[in-house]
Amino acid sequence: MTTSTQPTTTPVESVALPVTWAPRRNRAVLLTLCSVLLVLFTAIAFAMPDNWQLNDRVAMVCSGLLFAAVGLMLARPRVSADEQGVTVVNFVRSRRLAWAEILRVNLRQGDPWVTLDLADGTALAAVGIQPAGGRDQAVRAARALRDLVEERGTSR
């Protein structure tokens, strides 16, 4: 489904700015998992027998920190819209876009997340809106973003 070209059959709700879309369920699971991993690796480091040296214990704690850092990176994605434009925060990078830079919002059947077609001819993944946390919620968010792009991208 390309949300920018197909008419909606349900009434469109107007979105009050600023608004942020993020996969909250994924984020909750990842943040919990990060905490558990950090506590677990730290507990293992201190529970090891006396023949473990200090550098072995530090390595265990650092491993827990590394795994937690990866989990936190996976929990970063979000899409925020305000009066000036859209901020897309993905796993590693974030990008600020003016409304006029976004031509189309796409969420087709089977897509892992929304993609934005940009005025420079490229596409940008917007991982913060993804069906993994609920297809209906993702479709509503994509439609709301599409409506904002149509309203603010051409009228300003």
At residue 153, the pLDDT reads 79
Residue 155 predicted with pLDDT over 60: no
- What are the pLDDT digits (tens) for 24-77? 889 999 999 999 999 999 999 999 998 999 999 999 999 999 999 999 999 999
β partners of residue 21: 79
**Cα dihedral angle (147, 148, 151, 156), rounded to 10 degrees?**
-160
CATH topology of domain 77-155: PH-domain like (2.30.29)
pLDDT for the residue numbered 120:
95
Instruction: Report H helices in 3-134.
Output: 24-47, 54-74
Read off the pTM: 0.81
| 3 state DSSP class of 24 | helix
Identify the pLDDT of residue 13: 59
55: Cβ contacts below 8 Å, ≥ 6 apart: none
| CB-count burial class (<10 Å; 0-12, 13-18, 19+) for 155 | exposed
On the question of pLDDT at 4 being above 50, the answer is no
Mean pLDDT across the chain, nearest whole number? 90
Return the pLDDT at 75. 95
Greater confidence (108 vs 6) lies with 108
Q: What are phi and psi of 24, to 5 degrees?
A: -60, -40
Task: Output the pLDDT for position 73.
Answer: 96
pLDDT value at position 154? 66
Q: Which of 63-67, 118-122, 131-135 has the lowest mean pLDDT?
A: 131-135
